């Protein structure tokens, strides 16, 4: 009897192993036998902003896994980003992942892509506009929710006067961040526009604001590359204002570890880039539309001295 049971168990194990092997082989064959699609990723990235390097790394990881060709293109202006959409539609790409930073300028070209049966997925920017633009799905952070979370945090920290540094006037996701802070913050609030990634001019404007208004006790930058500049500006102005930032980069991680930057809001850009491409692939090979009509949120999450040790190892690898 025992011998029979042992043989039956061995037979069951063999069948299970065969089933797993067959399943894995089928999945692998499915991925590799598909046509090699070409997907375009179009962003409003400005030169010098390392945040986008992390998004691109995530997109490349998904492209490699899905066996697709990735075209990464960027232009920081509304007309420039819209023109890139026109260009890739003419190239007959198989899918487009786009940051909807300038909805009014981009919507017409996006609809031309959709009319050409090219699936379009939004990510990173355009939480409030992706549905009306006709996009399949959206991956990213709800910037209004993130801004409100920052406002609540500033209240808890006892901040009384805050300057929100906006580096790209007219970009809807940045406006939503500042508006969110203003909605929940109970103190004095001011939006300071700076000229893109001209860090010398940005520092000068922050210094001037701090010298003009001595009551400012917190500076919030809307991009991690601006955090070091804001810290230096506060030092130059002789201000005791503390600095927090949206987004996370290895440099921001180092500043948090040093105690010079108080916190960062992490929207997990690697995940945004990865999922945007992966969702396009799923749509092409299986007709999937992810999200159920709701955005797939990747943030916000606060990174500060309490959890920086856990995050630092991933930042060092360039994925946070």
- Taking the C-alpha atoms of residue 46 and residue 184, their distance in angstroms, rounded to an integer, is 29
Q: What is the average per-residue pLDDT within 53-70? A: 97
Task: Give the whole-number percent of the chain exceeding pLDDT 70.
Answer: 89
Asked whether 68 and 283 are in contact (CB, 8 A), the reply is no
Q: Which of 171, 164, 311, 169 is nearest to 250 (CA)?
A: 311
Share the mean pLDDT of the chain. 90
pLDDT at position 230 is: 98
- Evaluate if residue 195 carries a pLDDT over 80: yes
Q: What separation, in Å, do the N-terminal and C-terminal C-alpha atoms of the chain show?
A: 58
pLDDT at position 318 is: 87
Walk me through the domains of the chain, giving residue ranges and CATH numbers.
35-141+269-298 (3.40.50.2300), 143-266 (3.40.50.2300)
The model's confidence at residue 11, banded by pLDDT at 50, 70 and 90, is very low
pLDDT at position 34 is: 54
pTM listed for this prediction: 0.81
- Evaluate if residue 12 carries a pLDDT over 50: no
Task: Give the whole-number percent of the chain exceeding pLDDT 90.
Answer: 82
Q: Which of 177, 276, 166 is nearest to 221 (CA)?
A: 166
- Evaluate if residue 221 carries a pLDDT over 50: yes
Q: Which of 316, 149, 135, 124 is nearest to 223 (CA)?
A: 124
pLDDT at position 1 is: 40
Provide φ and ψ at 154, rounded to 5°: -65, -35
Q: Which of 103, 98, 141 is nearest to 248 (CA)?
A: 141
Asked whether 272 and 239 are in contact (CB, 8 A), the reply is no
Asked whether 70 and 274 are in contact (CB, 8 A), the reply is no
Q: What is the average per-residue pLDDT within 202-210? A: 98
Q: Which of 140, 139, 141, 131 is nearest to 110 (CA)?
A: 131
pLDDT at position 9 is: 40
pLDDT at position 315 is: 87
Q: What is the average per-residue pLDDT within 148-152? A: 98
Provide φ and ψ at 46, rounded to 5°: -100, 145
């Amino acid at each position: 009897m025992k011998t029979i049971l042992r043989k039956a168990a061995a037979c069951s194990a063999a069948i299970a192993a065969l089933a797993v092997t067959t399943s894995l082989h089928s999945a692998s064959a499915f991925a590799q036998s598909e046509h090699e699609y070409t997907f375009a990723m179009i962003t409003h990235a400005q030169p010098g902003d390392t945040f986008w390097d992390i998004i691109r790394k995530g997109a490349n990881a998904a492209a490699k896994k899905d066996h697709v060709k990735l075209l990464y293109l960027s232009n920081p202006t509304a007309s420039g980003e819209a023109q890139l959409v026109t260009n890739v539609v003419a190239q007959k790409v198989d899918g487009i992942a786009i940051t909807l930073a300038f909805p009014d300028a981009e919507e017409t070209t996006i609809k031309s892509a959709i009319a050409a049966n090219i699936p379009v997925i939004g990510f990173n920017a355009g939480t409030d506009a992706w549905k009306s633009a006709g996009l399949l799905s959206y991956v990213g952070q709800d910037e209004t929710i993130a801004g409100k979370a920052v406002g609540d945090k500033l209240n808890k920290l006892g901040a009384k006067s805050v300057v929100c540094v906006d580096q790209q006037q007219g970009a809807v996701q940045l406006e939503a961040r500042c508006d969110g802070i203003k909605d929940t913050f109970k103190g004095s609030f001011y939006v300071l526009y700076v000229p893109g990634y001209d860090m010398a001019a940005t520092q000068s404007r922050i210094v001037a604001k701090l010298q003009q208004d001595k009551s400012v006790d917190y500076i919030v930058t809307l991009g991690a590359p601006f955090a070091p500049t804001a810290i230096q500006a506060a030092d130059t102005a002789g201000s005791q204002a503390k600095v927090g930032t949206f987004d996370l980069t290895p440099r921001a991680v180092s500043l948090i570890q040093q105690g010079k930057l108080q916190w960062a809001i992490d929207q997990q850009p690697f995940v945004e880039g990865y999922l945007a491409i992966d969702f396009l692939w799923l749509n092409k090979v299986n007709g999937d539309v992810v999200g159920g009509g709701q955005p797939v949120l990747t943030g916000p999450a606060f990174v500060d001295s309490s959890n920086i040790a856990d995050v630092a190892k991933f930042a060092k690898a360039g994925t946070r």
